[in-house]
């Protein structure tokens, strides 16, 4: 897939938009844009990701007349972030650190908060991440615009500089950020696949809830016969037989998981599915024997879940709802009665997703399809005030993976799979392993 860390964001409407996809790729992961986006929107999103800076962060561009309340629908007042302020003609006026949003009145405009020239980093003279870090800390700023020939091309912070020294971006042969896109198995899949490749997509994901069916095999065979020159992912399945059929039809990566996701009600509605570790263990072995790989899709709530999936043989782990509660995820930041920030998340087979997917149908047909939906239509995913960004979660996840590999005496993910010893523990043993946030 071209990723440099084994993390993929789920092709869910509430999880992966262009900003999250770009941020994830900048740190070595891969974002999968959802199939429910209209083709022209997918095209625009792919091209947008390709245009984003690799070495610096994508700016939050807002107008000078934007109010603080409106800005706080996109950002939290935390250090290391900020807003690039532009006038009505799009000309750069200055920057406002996100922390300033927490002390200003909600009706104040960003233009009101501009005071003096901002410390800026010249992209041509930026040098190493260490140099950027030293410049920012010497100036005592936690956020700064990055300019090239007088034009703002991104933003950075001391933490961002450190991350640039740790992570290796996932880029294509032209040095642009990589991005994946999903498509369903119905309609003219060949035409859509060719259009996405023309837009610059790096990986195609053929996705349906029940991937071991004739419709998937036909669609996969159709796309594979186009010889597009990029990896094809297909799913979701949970058995070795399904892996064999999908690989035989042209997939090089198999998406594994039926029912483990937080927004998924499949197991409760249908009694269909399989515990995720068992599914990954069997399918990964089958895929390896065929020269293919698996992505473990769903059931990830803690870094330990990522480590377990990798130990079972997954080459990457797909994360959904956990990433939905981040600044980069699509949707507006909302606040509950206590002032805690959250975003909404929903399942891709839920009534909400069905309404969006079939919005072009007449009202009767939409209502008819909504009767038979599965999945949660609205879930509140709170942002962790200590880790509000997807990058913060990546730091935590990769820390867990590295430590897991160290405990297993492994220096690579392949070696980790070979050396990891997975056992079964009691509920009491599991509870014993949980940290206590307060004393007892």
Give the per-residue pLDDT at 63.
96
Chain-centre distance of CA 150, in angstroms? 31
Give tens-digit pLDDT for 224-263: 999 999 999 999 999 999 999 999 999 999 999 998 888 7
**Cα 329 to Cα 303: distance, rounded to the nearest angstrom:** 19
Burial of 231 (0-12, 13-18, 19+ CB in 10 A): middle
User: Are 355 and 43 spatial neighbours (Cβ–Cβ below 8 Å)?
Assistant: no
- Residue 86 — φ and ψ, nearest 5°? -125, 155
Of residues 41, 49, 316, 35, the one with CA closest to residue 193? 35
Give tens-digit pLDDT for 142-199: 999 999 998 999 999 999 999 999 999 999 999 999 999 999 999 999 999 999 999 9
Give tens-digit pLDDT for 26-72: 999 999 999 999 999 999 999 999 999 999 999 999 999 999 999 99
All structural domains of the chain, each given as residue ranges with its CATH number in brackets, are 7-54+170-327+387-420 (3.20.20.70), 61-166 (3.10.580.10)
Rg of the chain over CA atoms, in angstroms? 22
CA-to-CA separations, 112 to 295, 365, 417, 420, in angstroms, rounded = 48, 50, 55, 56
Give tens-digit pLDDT for 252-305: 999 999 988 887 888 888 888 899 999 999 999 999 999 999 999 999 999 999
**Cα 152 to Cα 361: distance, rounded to the nearest angstrom:** 42
In 55-157, beta strands by DSSP E: 61-63, 82-86, 92-97, 121-122, 144-148, 151-156
Does pLDDT of 306 surpass 80? yes
The single residue of 264, 318, 381, 393 carrying the catalytic annotation is 264
Does pLDDT of 351 surpass 60? no
pTM of the model: 0.90
199-232-323 Cα angle (round to 5): 75
The neighbour count for residue 189, using CB atoms within 10 Å, is 19
User: Residue 414 contacts by C-beta under 8 Å, 6 or more apart in sequence?
Assistant: none
Give the per-residue pLDDT at 437.
77
95 catalytic per annotation: no
Confidence of residue 438 (pLDDT cuts 50, 70, 90): confident
User: Are 352 and 377 spatial neighbours (Cβ–Cβ below 8 Å)?
Assistant: yes
DSSP category for residue 111: G
Mean pLDDT for the stretch of residues 402-418: 96
Task: Name the pairing type of β-strands 151-156 and 144-148.
Answer: antiparallel
- Sign for the pseudo-dihedral over CA of 283, 285, 288, 290: negative
Does pLDDT of 349 surpass 60? no
**Cα 294 to Cα 16: distance, rounded to the nearest angstrom:** 20
DSSP category for residue 117: P
């Amino acid at each position: 897939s071209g990723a440099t860390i084994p993390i993929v964001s789920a092709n869910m409407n509430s999880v992966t938009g262009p900003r999250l996809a770009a941020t994830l790729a900048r740190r070595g992961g891969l974002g999968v844009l959802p199939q429910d986006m209209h083709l022209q929107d997918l095209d625009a999103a792919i091209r947008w990701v390709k245009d984003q800076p690799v070495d610096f962060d994508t700016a939050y561009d807002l107008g000078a007349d934007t109010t603080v309340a409106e800005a706080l629908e996109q950002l939290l007042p935390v250090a290391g972030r900020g807003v690039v302020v532009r006038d009505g003609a799009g000309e750069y006026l200055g920057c406002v650190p996100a922390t300033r949003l927490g002390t200003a009145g909600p009706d104040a405009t960003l233009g009101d908060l501009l005071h003096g020239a901002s410390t800026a980093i010249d992209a041509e003279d930026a040098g190493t991440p260490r140099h950027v870090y030293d410049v920012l800390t010497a100036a005592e700023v936690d956020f700064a615009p990055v300019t090239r020939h007088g034009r703002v091309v991104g933003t950075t912070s001391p933490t961002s500089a450190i991350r640039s020294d740790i992570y290796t971006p996932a880029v294509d042969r032209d040095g642009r950020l990589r991005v994946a896109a999903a498509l369903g198995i119905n309609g003219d899949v060949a035409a859509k696949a060719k259009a996405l490749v023309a837009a610059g997509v790096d990986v195609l994901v053929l996705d349906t809830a029940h991937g071991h069916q004739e419709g998937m095999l036909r669609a996969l065979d159709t796309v594979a016969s186009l010889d597009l020159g990029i990896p094809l992912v297909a799913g979701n399945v949970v058995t070795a037989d399904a892996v064999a059929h999908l690989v035989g039809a042209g997939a090089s990566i198999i998406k594994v998981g039926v029912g483990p996701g937080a927004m998924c009600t499949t197991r409760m509605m249908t009694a269909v599915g399989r515990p995720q570790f068992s599914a990954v263990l069997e399918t990964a072995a089958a895929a390896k024997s065929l020269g293919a790989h698996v992505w473990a899709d769903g059931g990830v709530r803690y870094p330990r879940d990522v480590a377990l999936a990798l130990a079972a043989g997954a080459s990457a782990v797909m994360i959904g709802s956990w990433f939905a509660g981040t600044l980069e995820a699509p949707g507006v930041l909302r606040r509950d009665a206590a002032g805690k920030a959250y975003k909404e998340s929903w399942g891709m087979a839920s009534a909400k997703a069905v309404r969006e997917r079939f919005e072009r149908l007449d009202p009767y047909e939409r209502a008819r399809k909504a009767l038979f939906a599965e999945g949660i239509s609205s879930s509140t995913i709170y942002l962790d005030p200590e880790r509000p960004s997807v990058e913060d979660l990546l730091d935590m996840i990769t820390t867990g993976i590295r430590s897991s590999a160290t405990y297993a005496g492994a220096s690579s993910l392949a070696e980790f799979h070979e050396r990891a010893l997975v056992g079964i523990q009691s509920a009491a043993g599991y509870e014993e392993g949980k940290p206590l946030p307060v004393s007892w």
